[in-house]
């Protein structure tokens, strides 16, 4: 089984994680979903990203249960997104955090959430109040995280930071084992943190490696709603042309990008079919970490 380490936690993930957010039963039947899970887990640990907030979460849980019944003993790795506090809450709550973990475990039929993707929300959802919450909750977060790890309910805590400033603060917390956030050829804000994360034994999970479908041949052609997005798209297109990347290779090329960095463990992709998954899985499984190549590509797409 091909897998990659999440920092120094001892947890290993498939290089390609199945993102469940768009698993729509109107588009993907239960049989097709289970067959897709079986395909993804044939050569690497079955790694799933989920959240109780996603509109099709109950359907994903049903498909996961069926997959488990058909494949008893198959290794299943869970990355679960969980906010505490939420928008309607003002502070981190130990009991609410624990209850949300327990609710996720029950829904997934799992003994452990291998990685909890923790985020702090606030109304308004701005950095200044969220950083205050982070400062206030450090002791309580550390205590409940250690307790849940001891109980075997979670394996590690990763943070979705919203901003580089929040990421820098979160990574200083002893209980924070890494980040789970955006990284792609256009969203490169976290690149400056990756080398130090690797040296510190912290892991990184990539979200939105294809920029929500923009970094695909079709996505680079479609009209965009504002000038800023048009500029981003045009810069991407120009850089692909400069590097002589064929249009049909763009998704696989983009997927490989973040996996070139040794701190990056896995990329999360919403996949709807085996046909869609096959080239992406092949690309992810083939990547060997190469920090120098990663740095050159990041520099090229930053326009430096």
Assign residue 33 the CATH number of its domain.
3.20.20.100
State how beta strands 264-269 and 113-119 pair.
unpaired
- Would you state the torsion angle of the CA atoms of residues 79, 51, 60, 41, taken in this order, to the nearest 10 degrees? -10
Domain count, the chain: 1
What is the pTM (predicted TM-score) of this model? 0.97
Higher pLDDT, 232 or 58: 58
Domain presence at residue 198: yes
Q: Tell the burial category of 284 from Cβ atoms under 10 Å away from its Cβ (0-12, 13-18, 19+).
A: buried
Domain presence at residue 171: yes
pLDDT (average), residues 270-286: 96
pLDDT at 304 over 70: no
Residues β-bridged to residue 267: 16, 206
Could you tell me what percent of the chain has a pLDDT over 90? 93
The whole-chain average pLDDT of the chain stands at 96
Domain presence at residue 188: yes
Q: How confident is the model at residue 271 (pLDDT cuts 50, 70, 90)?
A: very high
pLDDT at 164: 96
Domain presence at residue 133: yes
Range of the domain at 57: 4-210+258-289
pLDDT (average), residues 90-112: 97
Q: pLDDT tens, 7-33?
A: 999 999 999 999 999 999 999 999 999
Domain presence at residue 21: yes
pLDDT at 258: 96
Q: How confident is the model at residue 224 (pLDDT cuts 50, 70, 90)?
A: confident
| d(C-alpha 66, C-alpha 61), whole Å | 9
pLDDT at 227: 84
Domain presence at residue 25: yes
Domain presence at residue 242: no
Domain presence at residue 55: yes
Q: Tell the burial category of 238 from Cβ atoms under 10 Å away from its Cβ (0-12, 13-18, 19+).
A: exposed
> Among 34-48, 86-100, 218-232, 263-277, which stretch is predicted with the lowest mean pLDDT?
218-232
Q: pLDDT tens, 54-67?
A: 999 999 999 999 99
pLDDT at 223: 83
């Amino acid at each position: 089984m091909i897998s990659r380490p999440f920092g120094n936690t001892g947890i290993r993930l498939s290089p390609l994680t199945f993102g469940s957010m768009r698993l729509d039963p109107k588009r993907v039947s239960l049989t097709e979903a289970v067959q897709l899970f079986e395909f993804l887990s044939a050569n690497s640990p079955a790694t799933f990203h989920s959240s109780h907030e996603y509109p099709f979460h109950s359907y994903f849980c049903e498909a996961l249960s069926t997959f488990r019944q058909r494949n008893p003993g198959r290794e299943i790795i869970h990355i679960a997104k969980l906010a505490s506090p939420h928008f309607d809450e003002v502070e981190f709550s130990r009991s609410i955090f624990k209850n949300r973990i327990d609710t996720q475990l029950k829904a997934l039929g799992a003994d452990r959430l291998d990685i909890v993707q923790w985020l702090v929300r606030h109304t308004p959802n701005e950095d200044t109040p969220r950083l205050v919450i982070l400062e206030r909750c450090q002791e309580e977060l550390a205590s409940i995280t250690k307790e849940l790890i001891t109980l075997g309910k979670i394996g590690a805590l990763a943070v979705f930071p919203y901003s580089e400033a929040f990421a820098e603060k979160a990574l200083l917390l002893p209980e924070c084992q890494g980040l789970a956030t955006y990284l792609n050829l256009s969203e490169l804000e976290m690149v400056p943190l990756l080398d130090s994360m690797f040296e510190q034994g912290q892991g990184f999970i990539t979200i939105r490696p294809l920029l929500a479908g923009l970094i695909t041949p079709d996505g680079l052609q479609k009209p965009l709603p504002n000038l800023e997005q048009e500029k981003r798209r045009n810069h991407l297109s120009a850089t692909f042309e400069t590097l002589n990347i064929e249009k049909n290779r763009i998704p696989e090329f983009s997927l490989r990008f973040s996996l070139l960095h040794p701190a990056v463990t896995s990329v999360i992709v919403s996949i709807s079919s085996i046909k869609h998954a096959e080239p992406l899985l092949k690309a992810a499984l083939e990547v060997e970490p190469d920090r120098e190549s990663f740095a050159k590509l990041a520099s090229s797409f930053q326009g430096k």
